[in-house]
Amino acid sequence: MPYQRNCVTVLLFQIMSLKAIDALPITAHPMTQFATGVMALQVQSEFQKAYEKGIHKSKYWEPTYEDSLSLIARVPIVASYVYRRIYKDGKVIPMNDSLDYGANFSHMLGFDSPEMQELMRLYVTIHSDHEGGNVSAHTGHLVASALSDPYLSFAAALNGLAGPLHGLANQEVLLWIKSVVKECGENITTEQLKDYVWKTLNSGKVVPGFGHGVLRKTDPRYTCQREFALKHLPDDPLFQLVSKLYEVVPPVLTQLGKVKNPWPNVDAHSGVLLNYYGLTEARYYTVLFGVSRSIGICSQLIWDRALGLPLERPKSVTMEWLENHCKKASEN
């Protein structure tokens, strides 16, 4: 067994990762704390060790696989540590190995109801991957193309995920919905809601949770969260508001005439579900997304190494190309 490790060493490294987080101020963004903890896990990389020993390139995928499994298993500890540190006075809850991945994570965060555990299984599954075009998924792939190990690559992906145009969208949706309730109350009429949507658009903002770069219909990840809500929280006022938005927003966006996809995306729903079960700290939501994405990114990295994919390098352009491009653009 080339990759067998001593349990005590693993534990020691784990503690070092949490200590690295402790070095940051408690006010640091949860994603900064999470990415720091993941970086500190890198000292355990089997890929790095194997590379230093001169591993043959046909075998790269093996320690990549090993690192990926370890990373996926460990990120819930780091992520839940960040949550408990910031919001629960640092009272850490130990893992329970008789639970599955989603339930175990939910448990360490401090949520033990079977419904929340079921939600976490759903959440982790639907946020795990994004073909390769999305910033975090692509960053993982790009950094790993330099033969950086899975810890280095995944930490880089997390830094991309922390950007407001990317992972922060789910937090935006909940804040927007709460601002609707604050202004119009929970029993808002369809007319009032329509006015609010127009008000948002007229102030030069987007309606968060609607539209997509690629999809041209309702995001299937939205639909499965809706099914979950219909089953477990049909009477929740915020869920009812989300349902009403599903009727009101698409016709308004269509009326704008330029929106390619007026339908809701994955982010339109997730915040309301988490909020219902008591995970109300929207600033933390991107970390949940990050834990989920470890599964997709790491499986892609194993394929990258197994297929021997090359170093990625974007094409550069010349000054002449740029001048021609601008000339053409100004003619249009």
Ligand X SMILES: *[C@@H]1O[C@H](CO)[C@@H](O)[C@H](O)[C@H]1NC(C)=O
Ligand Y SMILES: CC(C)(COP(=O)(O)OP(=O)(O)OC[C@H]1O[C@@H](n2cnc3c(N)ncnc32)[C@H](O)[C@@H]1OP(=O)(O)O)[C@@H](O)C(=O)NCCC(=O)NCCS
Q: Measured from the CB atom, is 80 or 148 closer to ligand X? A: 80
Q: How far is the CB of 131 from ligand Y (least distance, A)?
A: 13
Rounded distance, CA 260 to CA 212, Å?
8
- Sole binder of ligand Y in the list 46, 66, 149, 267 (CB under 6 A): 267
- Sole binder of ligand Y in the list 76, 211, 250, 290 (CB under 6 A): 211
Report 251-280 residues binding ligand X (CB under 6 A).
Answer: 266-267
Q: How far apart are the first and last CA of the chain?
A: 64
Q: Measured from the CB atom, is 101 or 277 closer to ligand X? A: 101
- Sole binder of ligand Y in the list 102, 140, 150, 209 (CB under 6 A): 209
CA–CA–CA angle 114, 115, 117 (5° rounding): 65
Q: Measured from the CB atom, is 188 or 197 closer to ligand Y? A: 197
Q: How far is the CB of 261 from ligand Y (least distance, A)?
A: 6
Partner from ligand X, ligand Y, none contacting 208, C-beta within 5 to 8 A by type = ligand Y
Distances (CA, A) of 242 to 193, 222, 319: 11, 11, 49
Q: Measured from the CB atom, is 49 or 130 closer to ligand Y? A: 130
- Sole binder of ligand X in the list 52, 97, 191, 320 (CB under 6 A): 97
Range in contact with ligand X (rule: CB under 6 A) among 24-32, 39-47, 128-136, 272-280: 128-136
CB 72, CB 299: distance < 8 Å: no
Rounded distance, CA 30 to CA 173, Å?
18
Q: Quick check: 183 binds ligand X (CB under 6 A)?
A: no
In this structure, how many other beta carbons lie within 10 angstroms of the beta carbon of residue 113? Answer: 11
Q: Quick check: 169 binds ligand Y (CB under 6 A)?
A: yes
Distances (CA, A) of 145 to 50, 100, 138, 276: 17, 32, 11, 41
Partner from ligand Y, ligand X, none contacting 209, C-beta within 5 to 8 A by type = ligand Y
**What DSSP line would sit under 89-145, residue for residue?**
TT------TTS-HHHHHHHHHT---HHHHHHHHHHHHHTS--TTTSHHHHHHHHHHT
**What DSSP line would sit under 189-204, residue for residue?**
-HHHHHHHHHHHHHTT
Q: Measured from the CB atom, is 66 or 172 closer to ligand Y? A: 172
For binding to ligand X (CB under 6 A), which residues are involved? 73-74, 76-77, 95-101, 104, 127, 130, 134-135, 165-166, 169-170, 185-187, 213, 266-267
For binding to ligand Y (CB under 6 A), which residues are involved? 169, 201, 206-213, 253, 258-261, 265-267
